[in-house]
Amino acid sequence: MTDRSGTTGDLSGFQPRLVGFLCNWCSYTGADLAGTARMKYPANMRIIRVMCSGRVEPVLVLKAFAEGADGVLVSGCHPGDCHYMEGNYKALRRRFLVEALLEQFGIDRRRFRFQWISAAEGDRLAEIVEEMVAEIRLLGPLGRARERLFQADHLSLNPAAGGPSPA
Amino acid sequence: MAHSEPVRVGVYICHCGSNIAEKVEVQEVRRYAEEMEKVVAARDYQYMCSEPGQEIIRKDICEGLVNRVVVASCSPRMHEPTFRKTLFDAGLNGYLLEMANIREQCSWCTEENRWATEKAKALVGAAVKKAVLLEPLEERSVPVNPDTLVVGGGVAGIEAALKVAEAGKKVYLVEREPSIGGHMARLDKTFPTLDCSACILTPKMVALAQNEKVELLTLSEVEEVSGYIGNFKVRVRQRTRYVDPVACTACGDCRDVCPVELPDTFNHGLNNKKAVYQFFPQAIPNVFQVEKAGDPAPCRHACPAGVNVPGYLALIKERKFAEALDLVREALPLPAICGRVCFHPCEEQCHRAQVDKPLAIKALKRFLTDYEAKTSPEKKPKAPEETNGGRVAVVGAGPAGLSAAYFLAKCGHKVTVFEKEPEPGGILRYGIPEYRLPLEILKHEINQVRAVGVEIRTCVEIGRDITLDDLHDQGYDAVLLATGALSEVMLEVQGADLDGILPALSFLHDVRAGQRPKLGKRVAVIGGGNAAVDAARTSLRLGAREVKIFYRRSRLEMPASPEEIAAAEAEGIQVETLANPVRFLGEKGRVVGLELVRMRLLEEVDKSGRRIPAPVQGSNFVVEADTVIIAIGQRPTLDLAVGKWEGELQFDKGGRVRVNKSCQTGLKGVFAAGDLVSGPASVVEAVGAAQWASAAIDAYIRGEPLPVVEDRPERTVPFPEEREVLPLQRQEMPELEAEKRRRSFAEVELGLDEEQAVLEAGRCLHCAGCAECLQCVTACQAKAIDHAMKDEVRELEVGSIIVATGFDLFDPSSAPQWGYGRYPGVVTALEFERMVNASGPTHGKILCKDGKEPKAVAILHCIGSRDKNFQEYCSRICCMTALKYAHLVREKTGAEVYNFYIDIRSFGKQYEEFYQRVQEEGVHFIRGKGAEVVETGDGLVVRAEDTLLGIFREVSVDLVILNAAMVPARGAQKVAQVFGLQTGNDGFFMETHLKLEPLKTSSDGIFLAGVCQGPKDIPDAVSQGAGAAAEALRNISAGKVVVSPVSASINKELCSGCRVCIEACPYRAVEYDEEEEVCTVNEVLCKGCGTCTASCPSGACRVACFDTRQLMAQIEGVLAG
């Protein structure tokens, strides 16, 4: 689907690929609301539902970049609103770890966004997707950092190949 | 179905009519799916959720074709349960289902078909990849506790509670106000039938109160909710009423004697009620309660002796002067003295100062003693009937010693006070001049102390005439040292030993002892404290021509009280600040003048927080003076032989005796208080110290644990912002004219008269609510009132929770264009409801603030609703309430009524008919929102654009009713957090589905009823209440509910026992198994958030349905292609 004419040069046709990890109770519901209200936003964002933003471990974010994502969004309930009391705070703490990790791989931290989106904020979700698409269009495709991710065997980005997850 | 079989995925794509199919090329998606590995069937159908649609899936499963199912349709939040059931019905585990959300998150939110189709393919691909890795899960069911909690006692909550109780199930109803009834209890008539609101509500309230299955918890709020559907644990804080609800007969005797008036919140503050009150006449429970702010009033908080200031002010207002003075004496045995010399920190903190001037608290205290002296001069405090045998020696008959002796004697101890001077009183007797504190007053007050059984022995100096050891031998159980801080600090500069240089305290002492020390014509006083001012004013009265006070810092830092300084200046005394003596000049051994240097203040501050003074080089100057009085400080001294008391006395650098938090010195049985401990302070501080010391001594003698001087509570009650406080003039203390007092020791302050005192006391805001004057306790024959009652915390266990926390009205004072809060003629809808109600502040009369009936009334619709500046939603009830008000105004006053509306929304049963009826009653309808309310000479003018006539209109009226929007109740956000609810952008609680699940929330087992979910009228709120009851009863009736099997588990083989997951789990569902040295998950407590899985460093922790492998497969899926 994507037009990947090259990593340099004219980027006008570049369609960034985005993955969003959205918590079931707030942000995923907010994304549903955006649809129900027929708000239109770029189709670049592919949403993966998790029960809580606290579920999103750094390796999932790296996996998304390794598999071809140009940007990743993690979104959970606003502070104080978490369905699981404090999972969103755990996610917030992990955010800084993820950002540090990304830098080590030479991935611009603007490619990773961490947002609070409530179940009532469909418009906010749409807005954030638009912002991310615009920003990452300027940054261009992820490029060679992806190869570095794949070379990092210890990250076990391919659990089927004998990572830490149980068989 | 055994899952060891090869995986065969079936993909079922829904068209959702045209909802999906018009954007997504379904066939292209189907073909894409068909091509995928492990996919054995890919089908599409018009409506997959329909019976024939589900049948397609069932058939494939039953025929053994597929053993994993992907449904690509709407959000899983919509139809996941539907399709799970389809799988179960066909004999396949329902958790072998994965949904691809190609409607809400694809077809509905994407502009172009091509992109929507690409996205749908990616989402379906991801779902297939995840489905391959799905595993079957066993659903668990948990028993449902049959008890229900209803939160909020408005009509929705009442209905819900009543329905559950009538079904024979236990209900707890928690309401934060003192009575159930909510807003409906405040309404007058109800549209469209014009039933009396109370008449139709109170039978329900009574039915609820009488139902034995119902437990009402009023004045209560839920603090914490834990557990899960069917098994909640709820912590409720029940604020105390200070009234025993069983004993209270609601006779109202307490209300009749209560002197404190506070805004009546039931009537929206339109009138006042007493601090002990019944919420409204039909209140349920039908008992009284006392309103207290919780924190002390600032005056009482600031008083070192903790005198109940609001209490005695309230009693003065009621002319109960004797009772008021008794209340003062409970904490302060020297009221006449403090009424004269106190530095009144209470007045500095008084909240009324924010409006005009603080209460004249000191003057009012003095008035009480003046009044007693005039009306019952022989009155003596009662000595305790029995003594308890304890013997206490108090050393020093100053304010601390006398007060402690009084408190101890009141406790039943035999107290002897030893005083070295010929007369008792200490600094009061020998330090404070006659014109401030007449001897007669001092003697009277000391006699009051004697009257409670205190023996005072004068001319006995401890350490000279008698030793501390002698007291030990004489059998005293305890000794209190209260010898004050009377050693004077002298200036150590050249010439300080010249004749004519006097220490201030000895000077004042000699004058008070009846001598007349020789003074020159020019007197210079060095120092800035009260002793300096006292010495200066005394010098003037003794005949000095010219008296000057020199102080080294600025006036701001002068420790003397500003009134004293002002009085001194009025008498002609000059105060020169920022001047410090460097040497005294003498002739023939006598002082003739002094050389001073100018000072300036540095930016730095010293330990006392005041800026440090420093000399200005070369600014020395000389002043002539034939007498110099030094008043630069005092310090405690104590010299004792203490061999027979166990331990030793310790002093700090300033000579102060060291004591612990229970006023104990290093000697066992010897306590100390007052200036001896604190250094030079005030009378009232000495009294405060004496309170603690006497309590400690009392406990010591009784062999009980000693009380500890606690740090003052940090909080006082804030200024009552919600009240309208009008300025009232402070009654100032009359004084002797300055001319007359220059040569006389007659008392300067003359005292307030009775009328002044009553007026002044009436200025008190009673910001802390109840003044604790305890008149109600005396008046209550049922003995139901107890001011020592404390809040209670209840732990409830319930299976279902119904949240019905209601609403508040939008506060129109935030929108100045409508004049609310500025013009008295502008009222809100709920205020009008109270005005027009027979039990309201005007007894049902519609009146303007001037007491006249209005001739024209404007009703403004949509105030704060349907307005982008405030709330965008329609508040739904306002059109109909406006029609009701129009009818009531026409009926009761015949006034012209103008409705300013955008649209009339009379949508309910019989609503349109009511609209017709009101139109026929001659009410004016102007289509156009009231834009502005302004005041002119004649009254109020409403400005609006009449959009039917296309003209701008100005309508003169006397009364404006603002139909303000319903907004979420104050504290709704906190309720949402406590119960785990979600709120919409409007702040109302979110339901699971706007149309189909309006009562359920995202927290299973917690339901919504009434306006907390969104604006609605009474019929809708009642219906929702009954509906929420049905939701609760369904679970109760089933006896058990299925809970999600999505939970975490830990693989023992991989777990390293690091216990990171235990920290991560918000539910304490993970435990450490000491024997096996691994962590285990308690599935009952686990809610499946997966935070533990995300934190596990060894990949041992897995969460069903959202396992790492599954999510990684999904990532690969969304990014494939």
A157 located within any domain = no
**Residue B449 to residue B929: CA distance in whole angstroms:** 72
A147 located within any domain = no
B1009 touches chain A (CB under 8 A): no
What are φ and ψ of residue A148, in 5° steps? -60, -40
**Residue B7 CA to chain centroid, in angstroms?**
62
Are residues B26 and B103 in contact, defined by beta-carbon separation less than 8 angstroms?
no
Average pLDDT score, chain B: 93
B860-877 as b/e: b if 16+ CB within 10 A = bbbbbbbbeebbebbbbb
B1053 contacts in A (CB within 8 Å)?
166
A127 burial class (0-12, 13-18, 19+ CB within 10 angstroms)? middle
**Residue B914 CA to chain centroid, in angstroms?**
44
CA distance B69 to chain A (A): 18
B1090 contacts in A (CB within 8 Å)?
50-52, 54-55
**Does residue B192 have a cis bond before it (omega within 30 degrees)?**
yes
User: Are B103 and A35 a contacting pair at CB < 8 A?
Assistant: yes
Are residues B519 and B544 in contact, defined by beta-carbon separation less than 8 angstroms?
yes
Query: Average of pLDDT values for A41-59?
Result: 95
Taking 50 as the threshold, does the pLDDT of residue A166 lie above it?
Answer: no
**Chain B CA closest to residue A162:** B1109
A13 located within any domain = no
Three-state secondary structure of chain A? CCCCCCCCCCCCCCCCCEEEEEECCCHHHHHHHHHHCCCCCCCCEEEEEECCHHHCCHHHHHHHHHCCCCEEEEEECCCCCCCCCCHHHHHHHHHHHHHHHHHHCCCCHHHEEEEECCCCCHHHHHHHHHHHHHHHHHHCCCCCHHHHHHHCHHHCCCHHHCCCCCC
Q: Which domain holds residue A51?
A: 18-142
A161 located within any domain = no
B38 contacts in A (CB within 8 Å)?
none
Cα-Cα-Cα-Cα torsion B463, B465, B469, B470, nearest 10 degrees, comes to -170
**Chain A CA closest to residue B1001:** A25
CA-based nearest residue to B74, from B96, B53, B103: B103
B324 burial class (0-12, 13-18, 19+ CB within 10 angstroms)? buried
A93 contacts in B (CB within 8 Å)?
none
Q: Which of A2, A45, A48 is the best substitution to test chain B (most B C-beta atoms within 10 A)?
A: A48
Which of B1090, B1111, B1121 has its CB closest to that of A1? B1121
The predicted pLDDT at position B299 comes to 96
B110 touches chain A (CB under 8 A): yes
Q: By three-state DSSP, how is residue B921 classified?
A: coil
**Residue B1017 to residue B1012: CA distance in whole angstroms:** 12
Which of B103, B985, B1106 has its CB closest to that of A50? B1106
Are residues A67 and A159 in contact, defined by beta-carbon separation less than 8 angstroms?
no
B489 touches chain A (CB under 8 A): no
User: Are A118 and B983 a contacting pair at CB < 8 A?
Assistant: yes
User: Are B1115 and A19 a contacting pair at CB < 8 A?
Assistant: yes
Which of A40, A48, A55 has its CB closest to that of B1093? A55
CA-based nearest residue to B579, from B655, B647, B524: B524
A38 located within any domain = yes
DSSP state of B405: H
B137 contacts in A (CB within 8 Å)?
none
Task: Give pLDDT tens digits for B919-976.
Answer: 999 999 999 999 999 999 888 999 999 999 999 999 999 999 999 999 999 999 999 9
| B 593-632 residues inside an 8 A Cβ radius of A | none
Are residues B118 and A43 in contact, defined by beta-carbon separation less than 8 angstroms?
yes
Q: Which two tokens stand for residue B589?
A: 């051994």
B980 contacts in A (CB within 8 Å)?
83, 85
B1102 touches chain A (CB under 8 A): yes
B983 touches chain A (CB under 8 A): yes
The predicted pLDDT at position A154 comes to 65
| B 832-891 residues inside an 8 A Cβ radius of A | none
CA distance A131 to chain B (A): 16
B7 contacts in A (CB within 8 Å)?
none
CA distances from B382 to B406, B449, B452 (A): 11, 10, 6
**Residue B18 to residue B24: CA distance in whole angstroms:** 9
Are residues B676 and B483 in contact, defined by beta-carbon separation less than 8 angstroms?
yes
Q: Which two tokens stand for residue A155?
A: 């990250």
A7 located within any domain = no
CA distance B637 to chain A (A): 59
Q: By three-state DSSP, how is residue B522 classified?
A: strand
A59 contacts in B (CB within 8 Å)?
1108
DSSP state of B47: -
Are residues A107 and A144 in contact, defined by beta-carbon separation less than 8 angstroms?
no
Task: Give pLDDT tens digits for B730-769.
Answer: 999 999 988 888 888 999 999 999 999 999 999 999 999 9
**Residue B325 to residue B303: CA distance in whole angstroms:** 16
- H/E segment holding residue B700: helix B683-702
DSSP state of B983: B
The predicted pLDDT at position A1 comes to 40
**Chain B CA closest to residue A159:** B1109
The predicted pLDDT at position A149 comes to 83
CA distances from B283 to A8, B185, B272, B1047 (A): 76, 9, 17, 47
DSSP state of B106: I
Q: Which of A18, A22, A23, A47 is the best substitution to test chain B (most B C-beta atoms within 10 A)?
A: A47
Exposure of B61 in the CB half-sphere (CA atoms within 13 A):
26
Taking 80 as the threshold, does the pLDDT of residue A152 lie above it?
Answer: no
Are residues B259 and B771 in contact, defined by beta-carbon separation less than 8 angstroms?
yes
Cα-Cα-Cα-Cα torsion B418, B419, B422, B428, nearest 10 degrees, comes to -140
Query: Average of pLDDT values for A31-41?
Result: 95
B90 burial class (0-12, 13-18, 19+ CB within 10 angstroms)? buried
The predicted pLDDT at position B445 comes to 95
Is the reported ipTM for this assembly greater than 0.95? no
Q: At A62, which CATH number? A: 3.40.50
User: Are B1116 and A49 a contacting pair at CB < 8 A?
Assistant: no
Within B544-682, where are the H helices?
Answer: 562-570, 675-678
User: Are B1111 and A46 a contacting pair at CB < 8 A?
Assistant: no
**Residue B785 to residue B252: CA distance in whole angstroms:** 12
B1116 touches chain A (CB under 8 A): yes
Output B596-601 pairs: Cβ under 8 A, ≥24 positions apart.
Answer: B596/B550, B596/B620, B596/B621, B596/B622, B596/B623, B597/B621, B599/B552, B599/B553, B601/B553, B601/B554
CA distance A3 to chain B (A): 11
The predicted pLDDT at position A5 comes to 35
**Residue B116 to residue A161: CA distance in whole angstroms:** 33
CA distance A122 to chain B (A): 10
**Residue A123 to residue A117: CA distance in whole angstroms:** 10
* Confidence (pTM): 0.82
User: Are A59 and B1108 a contacting pair at CB < 8 A?
Assistant: yes
- Which residues neighbour B543 within 8 Å (Cβ) at sequence distance 6 or greater? B519, B743
CA distance A146 to chain B (A): 13
Q: Please give the span between the terminal C-alpha atoms of chain A, in angstroms, as a whole number.
A: 33
Q: Give the rounded percent of residues in chain A with a pLDDT score beyond 70.
A: 84
**Where does the pLDDT of residue A126 fall: very low under 50, low under 70, confident under 90, or very high at 90 and above?**
very high
CA max distance for chain A: 47
Characterise B671 by phi-psi region: left (phi > 0), alpha (psi -120 to 50), beta (else): beta
User: Are B1119 and A69 a contacting pair at CB < 8 A?
Assistant: yes
The predicted pLDDT at position B642 comes to 62
**Chain A CA closest to residue B107:** A35
Are residues B1110 and B1100 in contact, defined by beta-carbon separation less than 8 angstroms?
no
Characterise B749 by phi-psi region: left (phi > 0), alpha (psi -120 to 50), beta (else): beta
The predicted pLDDT at position B1 comes to 45
Mean pLDDT per 10-residue run, chain B (1121 residues)? Answer: 78 96 97 96 96 97 97 94 96 96 97 95 97 93 96 98 97 97 95 93 95 97 92 96 95 95 92 95 95 93 95 96 95 96 94 95 96 91 82 95 96 94 94 94 95 94 85 91 89 90 94 90 94 95 94 92 92 94 93 94 88 92 94 83 71 88 90 92 95 95 88 83 89 90 89 95 95 94 95 97 97 94 93 93 90 95 95 95 96 95 95 96 96 92 96 96 96 92 90 90 93 97 98 96 90 93 88 93 87 92 93 94 69
Q: How many domains does chain A have?
A: 1
- Interface A-B, measured as beta-carbon pairs within 8 A, has a size of 174
User: Are A48 and B1118 a contacting pair at CB < 8 A?
Assistant: yes
Taking 80 as the threshold, does the pLDDT of residue A161 lie above it?
Answer: no
CA-based nearest residue to B369, from B400, B334, B344, B320: B334
Are residues B778 and B310 in contact, defined by beta-carbon separation less than 8 angstroms?
no
A104 located within any domain = yes
User: Are A119 and B982 a contacting pair at CB < 8 A?
Assistant: yes
Which of A81, A85, A120 has its CB closest to that of B985? A120
**Residue B671 to residue B676: CA distance in whole angstroms:** 11
User: Are B1091 and A46 a contacting pair at CB < 8 A?
Assistant: no
A97 located within any domain = yes
User: Are B1108 and A60 a contacting pair at CB < 8 A?
Assistant: yes
Q: Which two tokens stand for residue B644?
A: 């027979």
DSSP state of B185: G
